[in-house]
Amino acid sequence: MSTPAAYNIPNLLTYGRILAVPLIVLCFFMEGRLQSSDFARWSALALFAVASITDFFDGYLARIWEQTSNIGRMLDPIADKLLVASVLLLMAADGTIAGWTIWAAIIILCREILVSGLREYLAELKVSVPVTRIAKWKTTIQMVAIAFLLAGPAGDKLLPFTTEAGITLLWIAALITMYTGYDYFRAGLKHIVGD
């Protein structure tokens, strides 16, 4: 008897990524209650790292095992956006990113929402917008930036300028984000205008 598509391993990895979000948030609520706030940050970073790795494996395994499913196609981008948005909001709330750097986070979040809306609209027209290689690079840089920012002050104690490296990478991700967002809209615009 075969496993229902909703419970195959790639989809379970996606569910795990979604469940990681409240756990990462909980680490930050625990930060003030623990003797060492460093432990809370390292715990959040470990959860984020595992969740980020599942982002690669769920799609890879679904393809090689031929276990792609509608629920997986729907939940995978949602899981990614929940993870990124939650951590960026946490970093802004605790002051790890502040001032002008908030704009890098806003650019990333706005692009994610706009591209999701565009993809949903184009899906109704049966138009597929494939993920480009540069968009994959953007995601990788963004995840590494967020990892550095999650380590934050705890990371600075081990490796000076950890937070600054995270902020620099976040700006690089934001710039690539603007380019890829423009790229997606240019690809989708002919269908929108045509409609």
Alpha carbon distance 105, 167 (integer Å):
10
Structural domains of the chain, with CATH: 5-194 (1.20.120.1760)
Reported as a single tens digit per residue, the pLDDT across 4-48 is: 666 777 777 888 888 999 999 888 777 655 545 788 889 899 999
Task: Output the DSSP codes for 12-52.
Answer: HHHHHHHHHHHHHHHHHHHHTTSS-HHHHHHHHHHHHHHHH
Cβ-count burial of 127 within 10 angstroms (0-12 exposed, 13-18 middle, 19+ buried)?
middle
Q: Are residues 106 and 113 in contact, defined by beta-carbon separation less than 8 angstroms?
A: no
Reported as a single tens digit per residue, the pLDDT across 178-191 is: 888 777 777 767 76
Out of 17-21, 85-89, 135-139, least confident range:
135-139
Alpha carbon distance 151, 40 (integer Å):
9
Count of Cβ atoms closer than 10 Å to residue 23 Cβ: 13
User: What pLDDT, on a 0 to 100 scale, did the predictor assign at position 119?
Assistant: 73
Task: Output the DSSP codes for 123-158.
Answer: HHTT---PPPHHHHHHHHHHHHHHHHHHHHHHHHHH
Averaged confidence pLDDT in the chain: 81
User: What pLDDT, on a 0 to 100 scale, did the predictor assign at position 1?
Assistant: 46
Handedness of CA 167, 172, 178, 183 (dihedral sign): negative
User: What pLDDT, on a 0 to 100 scale, did the predictor assign at position 193?
Assistant: 62
